[in-house]
Structures are given as C-alpha cells and as structure tokens.
Amino acid sequence: MRRGTNLPWVGDYNQAVVLDGIRRHPGTSRTDLAVASGLTVQTVSNIVRRLLDRGLVQEGETRARGGPRSGGKPRTALSVRPGAALAVGLQFEREHVDAVLLDLDGTVLDAVRRRSPDPSPSVRTAVEHATGAVRGLVDGCAHPDAVLGVGVAVPGPLDFAGPVRTSAINLPGWHGVAIADLLTTSTGLPVLVENDATAAAVGDLWRSPRVGRSFLHLHVGAGIGGGVVLRDEVVRGESGNAGEVGHVVADPTGPRCSCGATGCLEAVAAPAAVVARYADRVGAEAARAAGLRLSPRTVLDDHDRLSLLAGAGDAVAAAELDAAARAIARVVVGVVNVVDVSEVVLGGSGLRLAGERVRAAVRAGLGVAMTREVHPVEVRLEEVGERAAALGAAGAVLHEALSSTWVGVHVPPREIVISPVAPVH
Ligand SMILES: [Zn+2]
C-alpha cells in the first residue's frame, strides 16, 4: 500500500491510504495497517473510527495475534462495508454500450449491455441508451443513494479543455461532443470521462492487491489503445490522451488511418483491418461462405470467426491474424522500451478469441526488449473480460471520490467534489 504521513494536516490523505489498505486487503487489522502504511497505530485507529462512523468499513471477527495459543493481543479484522459506496461504469463501443454497477469492495453487482439499433448510432441515441442503462442499474439496486457517480470509458482522443468533451474518432459523428455534460444532465449524477484503455488500466490497478506496479494495458476493441501505469501512478499526459499506441506507425507502407497518418497500428492490426485483409485475399464471396458477414457492425464477430477458422486450418485466416499479432507485438516492445514496465496486460473485445495468439507474439517480441536481462516482463490476458474499461471507469469514480491522492478528469467542480492532492514533502 501507499506510505502515509503522521502530520495531522493531511488527515484526508491518510484516510485514503487506510481505506485503500482495507479495501485491497480484506480482513486486515489496525496493526497490519500501521505497519504497512508507516502510520502510528493510534493514527490508524483514529482514522478507522472515522471510517466506521461514516459506514465505509466494518469490523469482523477478532483473532489473536500469532494464533489462538500465542497469547498475543487480539486483532479485529477490517473490511469495507458492502453497499457503502457504489459507482456505475459505462463503456461505449461502436456496436453497443456496456454498463456495470461496481461496489467499493470490488463486487460487480449488476451489468447490462445495450446494443445499438443501427451500426452508427447518433450521439443522442447512444446517450439515451446509456441513460436507460444507468437508470436501470441505479433504480434496481438496494442502495441507490450510495451511487457516487458515473465513469465513462470512450475511445480516444479526448479533448478535456473546458467542459469535458470527447472527439472520439472511433465513434463516427462524435467529434466535439461534450459527453460528460450530456450524461450529467440526463442521469443527474456526476460524470467522469476516461480514455477506454486508461480506464481498463485504472480498473486493473483498483482491483490489484499488489503495490508498486508498472504496466501497459493494451485495449483492442474496434480500435487499439493503451493505458500506462508507472509505480501505481496512472499516466494521463497533458490532456488525458497518453498511451495512444494505436496511432504508432507499425507499417509505413500500410493503409491510411482514420487519424490521417499512414500505417498506424490500428489501421494494420485492429479487427476491422484483419477482417478486410482476409476478405480481400479470399474474395468476399468465399469469406461469406466461411461464415463472415462483412458488415461494419459485425466486425468483432467476424474477427472471432477468423480465429475459429484459423484453428480449423484456414491458412489465410491464420496468416492475417499472425501478421496483426506481430504488428501489435512490435509496438508493444517499443512502448516497453520507452516506459520500462514489468507487465503487459492484453484485453478488449478484439482479443476475446485472438488473445492467446497476440500474447504469444508479444512474448516472443519481448525477447529483444532492452530490459530483458534486468527484469522479466509478464504478459497476460485481462481477467475480467470485455467489460474491463467499464469496470475501470466505475473504479475511477470510487477512486476519485474516496482518495485524496488522485485527481482525474471530470466535469467542473460544481458537479463533483474534487479532493485536494496531498502536498509532496
Ligand atoms: Zn492513426
């Protein structure tokens, strides 16, 4: 866990440190928290009292230190109280919006997916769908008053100047849309917007009992994005757009990208690119005969189909998926060299069947990473599946509301209370 300080004027910071420790380590004790945080037992006890009074944590069974026969002083197990603080996470994709309701203890209480009625829904339609999903989750839960806000994960790039906006180029027609303002008005809840890959990284961080992690979270949905965490700090950059690995040039001779450049990773290796190349090589008729539907809204399903075909011996499907996996691996190795992470997490709906193939390529590619003889780089698939960004966005809301150490990107102060950042000494 993070280190605390015993200076009385940073009580909020210490409170966040202690709450974080209890949340990550259910069953921990005041003494354990004091040892891990560097705070005195008295300071921890005072904070725990306040957290108990606020109903955020609860006491459990008491156990003797070192076991029942040791005669040690008894310790009371602490955990966050289920239902004390909740958040909704939304994840906009081209074909659907996912909504999840997340509890402070990490439990996903409910989840819904609303499919868009047309392949390129208008912003209004998408916001109506999302609002309906949010209302359904909030109204249907046992503690609607405990919902602190809505976290929204959208593909980048985002424009956070002034009111929170997004010009997400992967969602046609969304250029310049103030999504946070729209959703704040329609749901009546504070709204926080996060780049989808960064949101997925925040979620991974939020759920992890480990501390001091440095990792790249590669998110492959309709597009490709990346979230970077260094020593538990989320790297957002100047405008919340750090980690746009999808727009690193992977093949200068490749196709033109939606961003205007040529041969970006996204244009070369995103599901739509792989499906298009396959159809190009075998012909549309043969592709349809092989089970592809070749419509903009079936890209992810078609991409899954290619993995199945490759597994059944279709050499063209295997070759195209492998080419995409190698392109992803090249860019990932570049990022690993630049930011020196020890983990690469691969997730998103574009990897639900192609994940192992990409993981193998990234593992092989890391054989030339600059740090290969200094420390290993673990490569794994995202464990929570396709809703990682929605879960991360919800986790970001809880983090924002309950931690004084992190100020994310959010609607103006009148909409959400921003805790001050703890001074660094
Ligand atoms: Zn691009």
Q: What's the gap in Å between 169 CA and the centre of ligand 1?
A: 10
Contacts of 249 (CB under 8 A, 6+ apart): 261, 262, 263, 264, 265
Q: What's the gap in Å between 241 CA and the centre of ligand 1?
A: 13
Model confidence over 255-307: pLDDT tens digits? Answer: 999 889 999 999 999 999 999 999 999 999 999 999 999 998 899 999 999 99
Q: What share of the chain is helix, strand, coil (3-state, %, to 5)?
A: 45, 20, 35
Q: What's the gap in Å between 264 CA and the centre of ligand 1?
A: 5
Does residue 118 sit in the same domain as residue 245? no
Q: Are 353 and 308 in contact (CB under 8 A)?
A: yes
Q: What's the gap in Å between 252 CA and the centre of ligand 1?
A: 11
Residue 137: inside a domain, yes or no?
A: yes
Residues β-bridged to residue 149: none
Q: What's the gap in Å between 268 CA and the centre of ligand 1?
A: 10
Cis ω before 209 (30° cut-off from 0): no
Residue 411: inside a domain, yes or no?
A: no
Q: What's the gap in Å between 228 CA and the centre of ligand 1?
A: 19
- Domain ranges, residue 110: 86-202+387-402
Domain of residue 53, CATH code: 1.10.10.10
Residues β-bridged to residue 347: 219
Does residue 214 sit in the same domain as residue 97? no
Q: What's the gap in Å between 255 CA and the centre of ligand 1?
A: 10
pLDDT at 328: 98
Model confidence over 17-73: pLDDT tens digits? Answer: 888 889 888 999 999 999 988 899 999 999 999 999 988 899 987 766 555 555 566
Q: What's the gap in Å between 341 CA and the centre of ligand 1?
A: 24
Does residue 218 sit in the same domain as residue 198? no
Where is the domain boundary, 54, 80, 106? 80
Does residue 378 sit in the same domain as residue 231? yes
Q: How many domains does the chain have?
A: 3
Domain of residue 186, CATH code: 3.30.420.40
Does residue 155 sit in the same domain as residue 187? yes
Q: Are 329 and 361 in contact (CB under 8 A)?
A: yes
Q: What's the gap in Å between 224 CA and the centre of ligand 1?
A: 10
Does residue 189 sit in the same domain as residue 235? no
Residue 416: inside a domain, yes or no?
A: no
pLDDT at 2: 52
DSSP 8-state symbol, 311: H
Q: What's the gap in Å between 58 CA and the centre of ligand 1?
A: 49
Does residue 231 sit in the same domain as residue 366? yes
Does residue 194 sit in the same domain as residue 218? no
Instruction: Per-residue pLDDT tens, the chain, 425 aa: give them.
Output: 555 544 444 457 788 888 888 988 899 999 999 998 889 999 999 999 999 998 889 998 776 655 555 556 678 999 999 899 999 999 987 778 899 999 998 899 999 998 876 766 777 888 888 999 999 999 999 999 999 999 999 887 777 665 666 666 666 677 777 888 889 999 999 888 888 899 999 988 888 888 889 999 999 988 899 999 999 888 988 888 899 999 999 999 999 998 899 999 999 999 999 999 999 999 999 999 999 999 988 999 999 999 999 999 999 999 999 999 999 999 999 999 999 999 999 998 899 999 999 999 999 999 888 888 888 999 999 988 788 899 999 998 888 777 644 333 333 333 333 333 344 34
Does residue 350 sit in the same domain as residue 394? no
Q: What's the gap in Å between 170 CA and the centre of ligand 1?
A: 11
